[in-house]
Structure 1
Amino acid sequence: MADLPVSEMTERAREIFRLVAEAYLASGQPVGSKTLADDGRVELSPASIRSVLADLERMGLLAAPHTSAGRVPTESGLRLFVDGMMQVAEPTASERAAIESRLSEAGPIEAALESTSALLSDLTAGAGLVMVPRREPRVAQMSIVPLSREQALAVLVGEDGHIENRVLAIAPGTPASAMEQAANYISARLKGRTLAEATRAIESEILSGRSALDDASRSLVERGIATWSKDADARPVLIVRGQSKLLDEAAIADLDRVRQLLDDLESKQSVVELLENAREAEATRIFIGSENRLFALSGSSVIASPYRDREGKVVGVLGVIGPTRLNYARVVPMVDFTARSLGKLIG
């Protein structure tokens, strides 16, 4: 019954469930019948409210912690609330101004991304996550310099002046002429292209036998391309700030969950894979508890939104992670606004 649509609930059950969900997300505490009766928005006796709460529990939407007489929404209940009942609260004028001011500070884009992660943490009381966009610089040239009998240094120069070095393993006795031929060959095909574009062209030429390279030079080209391609695949970088915000008063009573969450955050590649699921989303995505395998044990939620460059291309993802009792109505629009504001800075 946990997938019961809102339309199939009675009006009384909908209203009481909504009040329980809102009160729980605001306070993090179980909500009892007396609290609802005293609130004044439900014209029912505590006994009648208890009956509805019991029905909602049988539906799988609420649960009663053994330490309390109150109820809390289950993960299924939270999903129902978020998808069918939640009314978002747009960021206030002061919050929007704070976001835009922080992101407009002078400095490199990397500094803005760091600032974004910290800002999300400050505004939401969760940990801020920002996935740095993949760098795909267009290449100007490449050179290969011998270091020893078994190693060479490959130097890649981007059109923007960015320089990267990689150490390549080479066959002992590889002549300098082979390194020069390989570097000239790669430079001719890299120039003005991204590494991914050039890699496809080079691999096609080598496989078809059209490269006109000798064995030593061809081996160097293949090693160089393999090294940079592998590096590019692992290029997405995750910035996490505000882990300490996860250690609030409510978390102290559940240290095992928090410890599990902090361990999960250390597995950054796994977090990146989760955020990748939000890259193609048209709007902010919400992952609640066990809906995502990575944070199933820690019972955590992730709110994530893609951010785009000025041409509308998705270049990264940002978001917030915290307990399932995150204030979704406030955090979702906050993440969305921050993504749009960051996008304005990305060229």
Structure 2
Amino acid sequence: MPTPPISELTDRAREIFRLVVEGYLDSGQPVGSKSLAQDSGINLSPASIRSVLADLEQLGLLAAPHTSAGRMPTESGLRIFVDGMMRVAEPTAQERAQIEQRLSEPGPIEAALEATSAILSDISGAAGMVMVPTREHRLAQFSLVNLGQGRALAVLVGEDGAVENRVVELGGAISPSVLEQASNYITARLAGRTLAEAAKAMQAEIAAGKSQLDSASADLVQRGLAVWSEDAARRPVLIVRGQANLLDDAALGDIERVRSLLDDLENKQSVAELLESAREAEATRIFIGSENRLFALSGSSVIASPYRDREGRVVGVLGVIGPTRLNYARVVPMVDLTARSLGKLIG
């Protein structure tokens, strides 16, 4: 039967449902009628609470893992709770300061991405994930330096001051004049463009005979630009930290689920594709269990948020992955805060 909207539940059923979900997310254990009667402040007998729990189970919102056990939320129940009942716990000023301080430490952007993944793992008690930014350098200067033995060093300087070096195989001896001509051509004609834009414009000019380059220089220009495109394709698109957090005491009783999750995380391309689906989201997205087929077997949840550069362009996605009993109320705003903090560092 279809899961009813939360508005169709009675006030009493809503309150008991909320207490069961919050108790389960806090402890990872099913919540029973006896503990609800004793600890929740509900003025109902255990028998009355059991009746409500049975109704909620019949509606598909709760499940009993064992006959004598308490109840725990189903994936449908968790979705209803997250969308309509969750009381978000905003990060404290101290937590905000700690995140921003850890991300502001000097170093290359790769170090900040590593730190971000570790932060997400720490705050969630699960695994943190960060997609590497998809931004591209815009060229300010390009030069080729002869290394001898048929090789040259291609030096790219971006508009943001970043400097990268790559070794280019020349395929034979190249005269200094050819190296100089190729370097000057890229710097003078293609400055201010991304590598992809530069390569496209260059190929169009050469094909149309407008480049004023001889064949040796034209070939060298293409080699010099292509080395970055090839390198970018080989770079990992996803940084994952904190997998060990998934092997906590609660996980030991469900080791097959955890093994399935760890196997899923090994397939970084598939995980990256899941995160990519959150790229255009206006706010943090939550994927619960089998809502995404990648984690249907492991029954895991993903909380993901896009992060933007200083111009407001989405350049990547970050998030956490763990069991469905993640503390959503705490983790969701922390993921959002971390995304905004990382965005401040992206030029």
TM category (shorter chain) comes to 0.7 to 0.9
Contact 2:279–2:316 (CA under 8 A) maintained in structure 1: yes
Q: What is residue 164 of structure 2 aligned with on the other side?
A: 163
Q: Which moved more, 1:196-205 or 1:117-126?
A: 196-205
Q: Which deviates more, 156-165 or 288-297?
A: 156-165
Q: How far apart are 1:195 and its partner, in Å?
A: 0.5
2:27 corresponds in structure 1 to 27
Q: 1:179 to 1:94 in 2, by over 3 A?
A: closer
Q: Does the CA contact (< 8 Å) of 2:127 and 2:243 recur in 1?
A: yes
The amino acid of 2:81's aligned partner reads: F
Q: Secondary structure at the match of 1:273?
A: helix
Kindly provide the amino acid, as one letter, of the partner of residue 162 in structure 1.
Answer: V
After superposing the two structures, state which structure 1 stretch, 21-30 or 31-40, moved more.
Answer: 31-40
User: CA shift at 1:178, angstroms?
Assistant: 7.8
1:300 and 2:300 aligned: yes
Distance of aligned partners of 1:186 and 1:253 in 2 relative to their CA distance in 1, 3 Å threshold:
same
Cross-structure match for 1:244: 244
The one-letter code matched in structure 1 to 2:157 is G
For the 8 Å contact 2:168–2:224, the answer to whether it is kept is no
For each residue in 1:147-205, what CA deviation from the matched residue of structure 2 results, as whole angstroms up to 9, or x when unmatched?
77xx75562422335133255585xx797688777666555543232112213323444
Among the aligned pairs, what percent are the same residue? 71
Q: For residue 44 of structure 1, give the secondary structure of its aligned residue in structure 2.
A: coil
CA distance in 1, matches of 2:212, 2:48: 85
Q: Is the 8 A contact 2:135 2:315 kept in 1?
A: no
- The CA distance in 2 between the partners of 1:87 and 1:247, in whole Å, is 27
**Partner in structure 2 of residue 201 of structure 1:** 201
Q: Give the 3 Å change call, closer, same or farther, for CA 99–179 of structure 1 in structure 2.
A: closer
3-state SS of the aligned residue for 2:165?
A: strand
Mapped to 2, the partners of 1:226 and 1:273 lie a distance apart of 25
Which residue of the partner structure matches residue 37 of structure 1? 37
What is the aligned partner in structure 1 of residue 261 from structure 2? 261
The Cα of 1:303 is off from its aligned counterpart by 1.0
Q: SS at 2:144's partner residue?
A: strand
Deviation at 1:127, TM superposition (A): 1.3
* In structure 1, distance between residues paired with 2:86 and 2:11: 16
Shift in Å at residue 65 of structure 1?
A: 0.9
In structure 2, the residue matched to 1:343 is 343
Q: What's 1:118 paired with?
A: 118
Show the counterpart of 2:109: 109
Mean alpha-carbon deviation: is it higher for 273-282 or for 103-112? 103-112
In structure 2, the CA distance between the partners of 1:144 and 1:207, relative to structure 1 (3 Å rule), is farther
Partner Cα separation in structure 2 for residue 275 and residue 233 of structure 1:
18
Total equivalences in the alignment: 343
Query: What amino acid is the match of 1:106?
Result: P
Q: Distance in 1 between matches of 2:21 and 2:191?
A: 57
Alpha carbons 1:141, 1:190 under 8 Å: kept: no
Alpha-carbon spacing, 1:245–1:68, altered in 2? closer, same or farther (3 Å): farther
TM-score calculated relative to the size of structure 1: 0.85
Structure 2, unaligned runs of 5 or more: none
Name the counterpart of 1:58.
58
Check 1:40–1:119 CA distance in 2 against 1; reply closer, same or farther (3 A cut).
closer
CA distance in 1, matches of 2:287, 2:209: 49
Residues 119 and 128, structure 1, Cα contact 8 Å, conserved in 2: yes
Equivalent residue number for residue 47 of structure 2? 47
Moved more, 180-189 or 48-57: 180-189
Cα pair 1:310 1:344 within 8 Å, conserved: yes
| Aligned position for 2:129 | 129
Distance 1:234 1:4 in 2: 47
Q: 2:325 and 2:170 mapped to 1: Cα distance?
A: 51
Change (3 A) 1:12 1:321: same
For the residue of structure 2 that corresponds to 1:282, the secondary structure is coil
Quick one: which amino acid aligns to residue 194 of structure 1?
Answer: T
Query: Which residue matches 2:98?
Result: 98
Q: Contact between 1:144 and 1:183, CA under 8 Å: does it hold in 2? A: no
CA–CA distance in structure 2, aligned partners of residues 312 and 323 of structure 1: 32
Tell me, in whole angstroms, the C-alpha distance in 2 between the residues paired with 1:224 and 1:263. 38
Q: Give the Å deviation of 1:323.
A: 0.6
User: Matched residues in 2 for 1:234 and 1:129: separation?
Assistant: 19
Secondary structure of 2:312's match? coil
SS in 2 for 1:134: coil
- Structure 1 pair 265/38, CA: closer, same or farther in 2 (3 Å)? same
Who is 2:282 aligned against?
282
Taking a change above 3 Å as real, the CA distance of residues 134 and 164 of structure 1, as seen in their structure-2 partners, is farther
For 1:124, the aligned partner's letter is S
Do the aligned residues in 2 keep the contact of 1:2 with 1:61 (CA within 8 Å)?
Answer: no
Name the counterpart of 2:144.
Answer: 143
SS at match of 1:133: coil
